[in-house]
A and B are shown apart, each in its own frame.
Chain A
Amino acid sequence: EVQLVESGGGLVQPGGSLRLSCAASGFTLSSYWMTWVRQAPGKGLEWVANINQDGSEKHYVDSVKGRFTISRDNAKNSLHLQMNSLRAEDTAVYYCARDRLNIVFRSWFDPWGQGTLVTVSS
Chain B
Amino acid sequence: QSVLTQPPSVSGAPGQRVTISCTGSSSNIGADYDVHWYQQLPGTAPKLLIYGNINRPSGVPDRFSGSKSGTSASLAITGLQAEDAADYYCQSYDSSLSGSKVFGTGTKVTVL
Q: Write the residues of chain A forming the contact surface with B, with a CB cutoff of 8 angstroms.
A: 35, 37, 44-47, 50, 58-62, 95, 100, 104-115
Name B's A-contacting residues (CB within 8 A): 2, 33-34, 36, 38, 40, 44-48, 51-52, 57, 89, 91, 93, 95, 97-106
Knowing A95-B45, A109-B91 touch, does A47 contact B52 (C-beta < 8 A)?
no
Q: Are B93 and A106 in touch, CB under 8 angstroms? A: yes
| A112 with B2: CB separation less than 8 A | no
Given A44-B89, A44-B106, A105-B93, check contact A110 B100 (CB 8 Å): no
User: How many A-B pairs with Cβ below 8 Å?
Assistant: 68
Q: Which 10 pairs between the two chains have the least Cβ-Cβ distance?
A: A59-B99, A108-B36, A44-B106, A110-B48, A105-B93, A47-B101, A45-B103, A112-B45, A108-B51, A106-B34
| Residues A112 and B46 in contact, CB atoms below 8 Å apart | yes
Contact in complex: A59, B46 (CB < 8 Å): no
Bound complex: CA A113 to CA B2 (Å):
22
Q: Which residue of B lies closest to A61 (CB)?
A: B100
Give bound CA distance, A106 to B31, whole Å: 12
Question: With A45-B46, A45-B106 as given contacts, are A110 and B57 in contact (CB-CB < 8 Å)?
Answer: yes
